[in-house]
């Protein structure tokens, strides 16, 4: 995505690429939970929102340094993730899905109702731009370069994670919790750590989103967005690093490129999700790998 | 007392939805995330039959329910049966996919506006002890009591009801005894959709219908089901009424916008501290 953006001069398409990067990070984060650890979370939009709102409120209303607000957002998200994750991660499957969904809804309702803080349904305006080592990130191009760098850093971390002992531990837990605990893995602690770290990264992403759009409203953090993340992660391919990015790139650009299908967007999301589960086990990433494998073999 | 009455009204709706969850859970072990969408569709069907096609209510009601039943069966046939790798994750995702599709289609067909449905019976207010209750509410409570009574008898006494219960206990054993498990699973989705539609029709004059209603009603029905203990019908009714009443009381203390948050707070607390439900005895899976 980064290289695509380098050649794009049109601001509209540039902003599309930036949105893809935001979505790619979110979807990859969900991918870590879902694809590696098998934790189904339908409330990830809440952490994105907590990051965005804590940065938004603290800078717009109280004029605090943007970097400080990102850190405050991270701390807040970590604490909330700990409180929610500690009891929730003991649950499995449907129960966990519903618990995280319920959590996401509570946060969404709070964003809507606490209008003395969040501006209510009409949103929070006047969030200033962020500056990065003296460069004010005030237009699409500058922010794109910054976001591209953040994304690269994120990819690097993901790659490290994919090769790390932790990711194997998570896959083992995903396979069988009983077996892994009998091998001396602290299942609850590993899952909780992953959940909290993922929440923190999502929260940072949310803060950056607030500084980019200079405006946040509850709509961006609704249940619908959590589901969108899920569709991106599943469609792109669970358990692979590229999965989240592929899913985000395709699913973010489809509705933007074909503007006239706006009304069908929701249905298309559903159909894509269903088709992926029914026929494309492993998503696009695995499909590509399989096709590539076939090609190599036939040579 | 007024809160109690309105709480019981909304509670009996949640109870109906909860029973729908329970039926599917009892035969397949799946939580159907699209259950709320059938509630919405019930309301939509009755709206289109009454106001777009001008069908009298006596015919429109069964037609709407039958439509939902067929859709429920189709839902199972199209989505659930073809899941090759039946992991919990895949099943959850596929029902979410189904619910998105139903919601999106509803938005395309009926639009984004709130549709008004008039009361099915002449509006009267009944004076009760320290409060009033409308005829609509009485209808809602009556219908849900009737349905749950009828279902209990169906599952306890009839041959088909026993087949449903057998499938829950052990699918393989049930099929050895000559029960068509696939059929039972299909019908359980149909009946659940039917129940959802009953709830949707009953509630439509009170809350009206929007394409987006499904999420909320589905979640509240689920929390009612969990509260009473997943899989138990009377538990579902009990959970629904408790949820409805506590919501009504909560709304009287805090700003009403937070009312929905209350339902989710209850789900979380129940899931964290007593996942088997207040009435449930079955051991829920916890590590």
Distance of CA B152 to the CA centre of its chain: 16
Q: Rounded CA gap, A141 and A130, in Å?
A: 14
- Residue B284 — very low, low, confident or very high, per pLDDT cuts 50/70/90? very low
Instruction: Calculate Rg over the CA atoms of chain B.
Output: 18
Contact assessment for residue B61 and residue B117, using Cβ atoms and an 8 Å cutoff: no
Contact assessment for residue B208 and residue B115, using Cβ atoms and an 8 Å cutoff: yes
Q: What is the mean pLDDT of residues A141-168?
A: 86
Contact assessment for residue B17 and residue B220, using Cβ atoms and an 8 Å cutoff: yes
Q: What is the mean pLDDT of residues B103-118?
A: 79
**How many CA atoms, within 13 angstroms, populate the side-chain half-sphere of residue A242?**
11
Residue A77's pLDDT is: 92
Instruction: Select the residue of B83, B85, B92 nearest A40 (Cβ to Cβ).
Output: B92
The answer to whether B93 contacts chain A (CB < 8 Å) is yes
Tell me: the pLDDT tens digits for B198-241? 888 887 777 777 777 778 888 888 888 888 777 777 788 888 88
Residue A203's pLDDT is: 92
Highest mean pLDDT among A26-35, B225-234, B262-271: A26-35
The answer to whether B105 contacts chain A (CB < 8 Å) is yes
The complex's ipTM?
0.80
Question: Would you tell me which residues 53-82 of chain B have a C-beta closer than 8 angstroms to some C-beta of chain A?
Answer: 79, 82
Length of chain B: 287
Instruction: Calculate Rg over the CA atoms of chain A.
Output: 19
Instruction: Select the residue of B100, B226, B264 nearest A227 (Cβ to Cβ).
Output: B100
Tell me: the pLDDT tens digits for B131-150? 777 777 788 888 888 887 88
Residue B226's pLDDT is: 82
The residues, ordered by sequence, that sit 6+ positions from B59 with a Cβ below 8 Å of its Cβ are B49
Strand partners, A23: none
Q: Residue A200: pLDDT above 80?
A: yes
Asked if A34 lies within 8 A of B89 by C-beta distance, the reply is: yes
Tell me: the pLDDT tens digits for B127-136? 667 677 777 7
For chains A and B, what is the number of CB pairs under 8 angstroms? 135
From the list A199, A212, A81, the residue with the least C-alpha distance to A142 is A212
Q: Residue B101: pLDDT above 80?
A: yes
Residue A202's pLDDT is: 92
Instruction: Select the residue of B93, B107, B260 nearest A266 (Cβ to Cβ).
Output: B107
Average pLDDT, chain B: 79
Q: Over pLDDT 90: what percentage of chain B? A: 0
Residue B218's pLDDT is: 84
- Residue B154 — very low, low, confident or very high, per pLDDT cuts 50/70/90? confident
Tell me: the pLDDT tens digits for B43-90? 888 888 887 777 777 788 888 888 888 888 888 888 887 777 777 778
A11-45 burial: b if 16+ Cβ within 10 Å, else e: eebbbbbbbbbbbbbbbbbbbbbbbbbbbbbbbbb
Which tokens in the block code for residue A70? 């990102």
Name the DSSP class of B49.
I
Tell me: the pLDDT tens digits for A85-116? 888 888 877 788 888 888 888 888 888 888 77
From the list A196, A212, A159, the residue with the least C-alpha distance to A75 is A196
Contact assessment for residue A128 and residue A62, using Cβ atoms and an 8 Å cutoff: no
Element at B134 (helix H, strand E): strand B131-134
Q: Rounded CA gap, A168 and A126, in Å?
A: 44
Query: Among the listed ranges A3-7, A38-42, B38-42, B273-277, which one has the minimum average pLDDT value?
Result: A3-7
Cβ contacts of A110 on chain B, cutoff 8 Å: 261
Instruction: Select the residue of B82, B101, B286 nearest A90 (Cβ to Cβ).
Output: B286
Strand partners, A136: A131
Highest mean pLDDT among A194-203, A214-223, B174-183: A194-203
Which tokens in the block code for residue B195? 């129940």
The answer to whether B258 contacts chain A (CB < 8 Å) is yes
Residue B277's pLDDT is: 64
Identify which has the larger pLDDT, A294 or B143: B143
Residue B285's pLDDT is: 44
Specify the pTM. 0.83
């Amino acid at each position: 995505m980064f290289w695509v953006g380098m050649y794009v001069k049109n601001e509209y398409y540039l902003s599309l690429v930036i949105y893809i990067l935001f979505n790619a990070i979110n979807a990859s984060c969900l991918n870590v939970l879902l694809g590696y650890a098998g934790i189904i979370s339908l409330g990830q939009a809440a952490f994105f929102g907590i990051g965005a709102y804590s940065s938004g409120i603290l800078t717009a209303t109280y004029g605090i340094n943007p970097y400080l607000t990102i850190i405050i957002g991270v701390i807040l998200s970590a604490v909330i993730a700990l409180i929610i994750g500690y009891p929730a991660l003991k649950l499995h499957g449907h129960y966990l899905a519903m618990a995280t969904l319920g959590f996401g809804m509570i946060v969404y309702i709070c964003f809507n109702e606490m209008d003395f803080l969040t501006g209510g349904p009409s949103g929070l305006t006047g969030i200033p731009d962020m500056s990065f080592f003296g460069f004010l990130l005030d237009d699409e191009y500058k922010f794109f370069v910054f976001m591209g760098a953040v994304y690269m850093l994120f990819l690097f971390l993901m790659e490290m994670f994919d090769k790390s002992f932790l990711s194997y531990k998570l896959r083992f837990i995903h396979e069988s919790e009983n077996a892994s605990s009998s091998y001396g893995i602290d299942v609850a602690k590993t899952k909780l750590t992953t959940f909290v770290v993922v929440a923190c990264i999502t929260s940072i992403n949310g803060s950056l989103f607030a500084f980019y759009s200079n405006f946040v409203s509850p709509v961006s953090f609704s249940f619908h967005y959590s589901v969108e993340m899920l569709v991106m992660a599943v469609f792109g391919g669970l358990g692979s690093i590229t999965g989240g990015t592929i899913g985000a790139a395709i699913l973010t650009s489809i509705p933007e490129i074909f503007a006239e299908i706006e009304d069908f967007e929701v249905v298309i999301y559903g159909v894509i999700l269903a088709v992926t589960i029914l026929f494309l086990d492993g998503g696009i990433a695995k499909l590509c790998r399989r096709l590539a494998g076939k090609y190599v073999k036939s040579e | 007392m007024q809160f109690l009455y309105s709480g019981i009204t909304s509670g009996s709706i949640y109870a109906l939805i909860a029973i729908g969850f329970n039926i599917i859970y009892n035969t397949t072990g799946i939580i159907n995330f699209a259950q709320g969408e059938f509630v919405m569709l019930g309301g939509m069907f009755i709206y289109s039959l009454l106001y777009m096609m001008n069908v009298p209510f006596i015919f429109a009601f069964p037609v709407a329910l039958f439509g939902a039943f067929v859709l429920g069966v189709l839902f199972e046939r199209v989505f659930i049966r073809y899941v090759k790798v039946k992991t919990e994750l895949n099943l959850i995702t596929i029902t979410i996919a189904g619910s998105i599709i139903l919601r999106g289609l509803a938005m395309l067909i009926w639009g984004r506006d709130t549709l008004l449905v008039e009361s099915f019976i002449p509006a009267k207010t009944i004076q009760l002890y320290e409060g009033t209750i409308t005829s609509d509410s009485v209808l809602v409570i009556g219908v849900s009591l009737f349905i749950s009574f009828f279902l209990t008898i169906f599952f306890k006494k009839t041959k088909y009801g026993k087949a449903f219960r057998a499938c829950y206990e052990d699918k393989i054993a049930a099929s050895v005894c000559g029960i068509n498990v696939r059929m039972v699973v299909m019908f359980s989705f149909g009946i659940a959709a039917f129940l959802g539609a009953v709830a949707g029709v009953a509630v439509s004059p009170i809350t009206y219908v929007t394409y987006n209603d499904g999420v909320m009603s589905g979640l509240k029905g689920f929390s009612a089901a969990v509260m009473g203990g997943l899989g138990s019908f009377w538990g579902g009714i009990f959970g629904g009424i408790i949820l409805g009443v506590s919501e009504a009381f909560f709304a009287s203390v805090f700003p009403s916008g937070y009312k929905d948050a209350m339902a989710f707070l209850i789900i979380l607390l129940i899931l964290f501290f007593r996942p088997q439900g207040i009435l449930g005895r079955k051991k829920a899976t916890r590590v």
